[in-house]
Structure 1
Amino acid sequence: MTARSLAVLLDLDGTLVDTVPFILQSVGAAFEGRARRPSEAEWLAGIGQPLRVQLAPYATGPEDLDAILARYRAYQREHHDRMTRAFPGAVEAVRAVAAAGHRVGVVTGKLGDTAQRALELVGLAPFVQTVVAADSCPEHKPDPAPVLLALARLGRPATEALFLGDAPVDLQAGRAAGVTTVAALWGAASREVLLAHGPAHLLEDVSGLPALVARLAARSAAA
């Protein structure tokens, strides 16, 4: 019996790319000199959403939000390439998944050009067949729309797909889309927070991804 080719959907920040320290530095630069600003815990709890959505509660209005966003992005542009790195084993894991014939997609709250740049910098771009970013569709995680768009692009049904992410919004979006959800335990959210969202599987380290995908593919073929 031949195992089926699955759609393997992956979050980016905190799952494939270790950008959380950089993100927190960017937030600090965006809110420098301001009394009202998110705590580290508040910001980490919202990772995975589009940047504008995360920033909005701390702005006094649309113009102020634009100004905060501009400062954040200016800091990111200046330091992005130096601060962006893959988690150890991430490139090897995704390469192995792609080499096994599975279709790999990234579903991220980043803008498309920034996400593509990060994938290229760390060497993941050759193994990713589609990127659904914040500017790819009007709805965002935890809405299932980005996950469903990735499935449509990859030509796979939800029953033959998984979504690996380190944030509650990843698990919520994946579950709403009907895919198998996998919690990445090396990212920003704690095990307890992720367990509260009922992932189908827990992954302790990204190096375990190829073996998990192989098991799920074999199970799908036997169904």
Structure 2
Amino acid sequence: MSRSAVLFDFDGTLADTIPLIVASYRHTLTAPDQPAPTEAVIRSWIGRPLLETLEAHRPGEGALLVDRYREHSTAHHDTLIAVVPGAADLVTALQERQVPVGVVSSKRADMVRHGMRVTELPHVDVVVGLLETTAHKPDPAPLLEGARRLGIDPADCVYVGDAVVDVQAAHAAGMAAVAVTWGAGEEDALRALAPDAVARDVDELRTALTGLLELDGGSSAPTS
């Protein structure tokens, strides 16, 4: 089945924000009587809402910890965020081929748009963030909202993400799922969920989209 639109996750997919997220969680959770969580543990949290994650880790302290996290993340955002080579060119190429493109993230939409500007990603009209839905990945609600805003049937969408919750949400939404391995998720864990494709770099992602997208009445690779 060919699809006609693409929704992207942001953190770890369109931009390399993993060092920023790891540093911010460590800053937030380090305490004299409690060591900071390991990077592997933190990576397993990526893709889930911040408050939910922090409250689960330290019950009763979630709201306070969110403020601490965001203060650190904001202060270091522009220096720790990095470009994913080829991501901007791929999004631009999709837009030039008139493929509807959106971003669906578990962080606030304003922060996603700021990160897109910093990493020089092209503007997209549809950005669904934390506040746009009450349920969050792995629930399909954010992805379904993204499809609704694009005006595309969810079954005609591809969702591209780097975390286990991204693949789970795509399946739950009835979308094709493409997992990328340069972000938070371990490749074996991503493959175990049977996504439609797995990409180790943007060239492989471009190839995966070749087989999933319907462009100009037939399958064709977006090229930069």
- Fold similarity call, TM over 0.5: yes
- Residue 145 of structure 1 corresponds to 141
User: What is the SS of the residue equivalent to 1:135?
Assistant: helix
Q: Which residue is equivalent to 1:25?
A: 23
The aligned residue for residue 112 of structure 2 is 115
Q: 2 CA distance for matches of 1:21 and 1:222?
A: 39
Pairwise CA RMSD of aligned residues?
2.1
- Per-residue deviation at 1:211? 3.7
TM-score under structure 1 length normalisation: 0.90
User: 3-state DSSP class of the match of 2:107?
Assistant: coil
Q: Quote the Cα distance in structure 2 between the aligned partners of 1:181 and 1:166.
A: 10
Gap runs ≥5 in structure 2: 220-224
- C-alpha contact (below 8 Å) 2:55/2:63 kept by paired residues: no
The Cα of 1:143 is off from its aligned counterpart by: 0.5
The residue aligned with 1:198 is 194
Q: Contact 1:159–1:178 at 8 Å: present in 2 too? A: yes
Aligned to 1:173: 169
Alignment check: 8 A CA contact 1:5 1:101 kept: no
What's 2:203 paired with?
207
Distance 1:211 1:161 in 2: 16
| 1:39 positional shift | 2.8
Cα distance in structure 2, aligned partners of 1:7 and 1:129: 13
Residue 38 of structure 1 corresponds to which residue in structure 2?
Answer: 37
Aligned with 1:124 (options 121, 124, 129): 121
Residues of 1 paired with 2:98 and 2:206: CA distance? Answer: 11
Give the equivalent residue in structure 2 for 1:83: 80
Q: For structure 1, which segment, 45-54 or 199-208, has the greater mean C-alpha deviation from structure 2 after superposition?
A: 199-208
The aligned residue for residue 50 of structure 1 is 49
Runs of 4 or more, structure 1, over 6 Å off, are: none
Give me the whole-angstrom Cα distance separating, in 2, the residues matched to 1:94 and 1:36: 40
- d(CA) in 2 for partners of 1:176, 1:99: 29
Q: Give, in whole Å, the separation in 2 of the partners of 1:89 and 1:222.
A: 24
Q: Which moved further from structure 2: 202-211 or 40-49?
A: 202-211
Alignment partners' CA distance in 2, 1:220 and 1:192: 35
Q: Which residue of 1 aligns with 2:6?
A: 8
Does 1:67 find its partner at 2:64?
yes
TM-fit CA distance, 1:158: 2.0
Tell me, in whole angstroms, the C-alpha distance in 2 between the residues paired with 1:96 and 1:193.
30
> Match of 2:144, SS?
helix
What is residue 102 of structure 2 aligned with on the other side?
105
Unaligned segments of structure 1, at least 5 residues: none
Task: Report sequence identity in percent.
Answer: 35
Maintained 8 Å contact 2:137/2:165: yes
| TM-score after normalising by structure 2 | 0.89
Q: Aligned partner of 1:14: which letter?
A: G
